[in-house]
Amino acid sequence: MRIEAVRGDLTTQDVDVVVNAANSSLLGGGGVDGALHAAAGPALLAACRQVRRDTWPDGLPTGEAVATGAGRLPARWVVHTVGPNAHAGERDPALLASCFTRSLDVAAGLGASSVAFPAVSAGVYGWPMAQVAEVAVAAVRGWQPPEPGSRPALVRFVLLTADALAEFERALGA
């Protein structure tokens, strides 16, 4: 599995799966969540509402992941994960790591060969970018697929700023 970090826009990634740093409601928000919903169009919100009706009526728990279609995005699917909110006292690195490993579990279950991640919890949820990069890279490197042979060929971290990219490159040893 190749792991890379690039500076770019998650909404334009031509991959099988883009991971959404969602809030537990799955009904849109700010940051990555808002950008993905805006770019995907109303089909993404409709799919998220269906997930809430059928699977997670009380909202998606922190560290969990679930897939929907991707609407108008170039990706085939969106895997939504809820990162821990440091401002609310959620500071356990294992919970943050779970966002990455559970997202990969879901992506592997879909048969995805490429996955693009944002820096989950590094925005309004208040985690330091360096810590998110370390946890994310370690989680992806240590992840074991639920089914043999279901490992994506590519995991890409897509970062908006040069500073964020530098932290992920440091964590990758690039």
Q: What is the mean pLDDT of the chain?
A: 96
- What digits encode the pLDDT tens for the residues 65-97? 999 999 999 999 999 999 999 999 999 999 999
- Cβ neighbours around 163 below 10 Å, total: 11
Measured between alpha carbons, how far is 161 from 65 in angstroms, rounded to an integer? 25
Instruction: Say what angle helices 31-40 and 42-54 make with each other, to 10 degrees.
Output: 110
Alpha helices in the chain (DSSP H): 31-40, 42-54, 93-110, 129-142, 162-172
| Tokens representing residue 78 in the block | 């969106």
Domains and CATH numbers, the chain: 2-172 (3.40.220.10)
Distance, CA of 148 to CA of 146 (rounded, Å):
7
Q: Above 80 in pLDDT, residue 174?
A: no
Q: In what order do the strands lie in the sheet with 17-22?
A: 2-7, 154-159, 114-117, 17-22, 77-82, 65-69
Active site residues: 33
Its pTM stands at 0.96
pLDDT, average across residues 101-111: 97
What percentage of residues in the chain have a pLDDT greater than 70? 100
